[in-house]
Amino acid sequence: MLDRVLGLTPLETRAYRTVVGLPSASHEQLAAHLGEPPDDLVGALATLEAHGLVTRGTDGSFAAAPPSIALGALLTERRNDLRTTELELGRLDALYRDAVAGRSPDDVVDVVEGADAVRQRFAQLQLGARERVEAFVRPPVSFVSGAENTAEDRAVERGVQYRAVVDRAMLHTGALTVEQVRAAQRAGEEVRFDDRVPAKVVIVDRRLAFVATASSGPGGDEAGSALLIRESALLDIVVALWEAHWARATPLVTDAGALAAPVGARLGDLDAAVLGLLLLGFTDEVIGRHLGTSLRTVQRRVQGLMVLAGVTTRLQLGWYAARSGWIPDPGDTI
């Protein structure tokens, strides 16, 4: 946290934590504690000293300044900087609104060209989100991979709500795994699946939409360019399209806790995940691959679910699970 808040490097942060835990220490002793070459600590200690986080004694040893004083001063300075930035942001927003009011219809859309520019703008939009991000996701992954999308993780950490309608093909091809969906749900994100997602879209606070321009067909490079759509009738259409797909899309049940209380208490997480993938229309083979279990185990679990529901076919099982409220209602929309 100190590296992000105070701008310290990881080595400087480790060095400071080490000094805080010691009465005092020489340069060589600190290097030994950190397991780093002494020469690598020269710059780190100089930075900490310049920030007033450590002091150097007459014998050359280092001691930590009281954190409540040293860090308190730095945090106060950062808060003042943030307040100044917020005031400037307000002035810039006012200028922007005046400029938008005078725009012609042609100025509603910006074209972002080049894969690097698209990825940079994609990250900026997420980092600038205040309340919610809504998305259409379909293969192939183009803006940025899930592992690289640290902007999303940071937005979720500060309370931004993420909701995504994901193309069912993402699971079928393995571009997305059940474990990744489960991790996203644990982080507070909502994910639903649809048979066909019309485009790759990210909607931020209902103020902006980012839309990949190229076709997803053979040869289409969806990361090559995108449209940035501002508040307008066109943005309203994009939002309405997303809402329509969200309302009909199916949540993926990944654990028993997501099921209704009576049946959830009688099923394990594996049974719940099997049911969730079954209701998305996947074959037993695909279900087994996603859950890391054998075909026979999947078939046995499905048979157990049918017995619990008192039905004799899989079609009846799906109907019964929906009718009896086993699974979340896709009609629960915004």
Residue 99, pLDDT score: 60
Identify the pLDDT of residue 136. Answer: 92
Confidence of residue 167 (pLDDT cuts 50, 70, 90): very high
**Beta carbons within 8 Å of 131's beta carbon, 6+ residues apart:** 160, 161, 205
Q: Is the pLDDT of residue 221 over 80?
A: no
- Among 205, 194, 171, CA closest to 251: 194
Give which of 32, 249, 292 is closest to 136, Cα–Cα: 249
pLDDT on residue 220: 47
- pLDDT for residue 143 is more than 60: no
User: What would the mean pLDDT of 54-74 be, rounded to a whole number?
Assistant: 78
Quickly tell me which residue has 């049940």 as its tokens: 253
In this predicted structure, the answer to whether residue 130 has a pLDDT above a threshold of 80 is yes
pTM of the model: 0.61
Mean pLDDT, all residues of the chain: 80
The Cα-based distances of 279 to 54, 246, 253, 302 in angstroms read 60, 17, 9, 11
Q: Residue 50 contacts by C-beta under 8 Å, 6 or more apart in sequence?
A: none
pLDDT greater than 90 at residue 239: yes
Residues of the chain with CATH 3.30.870.10: 105-251
- Reported as half-sphere exposure (CB side, CA atoms, 13 A), residue 329 has a value of 7
When comparing pLDDT for 56 and 325, which is higher? Answer: 56
C-alpha–C-alpha distance, residues 189 and 149, integer Å: 14
Q: Decide: 155 and 182 in contact? Cβ < 8 Å.
A: no
User: Are the C-beta atoms of residues 311 and 317 closer than 8 Å to each other?
Assistant: yes
pLDDT category of residue 54 using cuts at 50, 70 and 90: confident
Please tell me the CATH code under which domain 105-251 is placed: 3.30.870.10
3-state secondary structure of 229: strand
CA dihedral 135, 141, 146, 151 (to 10 degrees): -60
Residues above pLDDT 90, as percent of the chain: 12
Q: Quick check: 104 pLDDT over 60?
A: no
Which part of the chain has CATH 1.10.10.10? 2-65, 256-323
CATH for the 256-323 domain, from 3.40.640.10, 1.10.10.10, 1.20.1630.10, 3.40.50.10600: 1.10.10.10
User: Going by DSSP bridges, is the β-strand pair 208-212/190-194 parallel, antiparallel, or unpaired?
Assistant: unpaired
Does the domain at residues 2-65 carry the CATH identifier 3.90.1150.10?
Answer: no
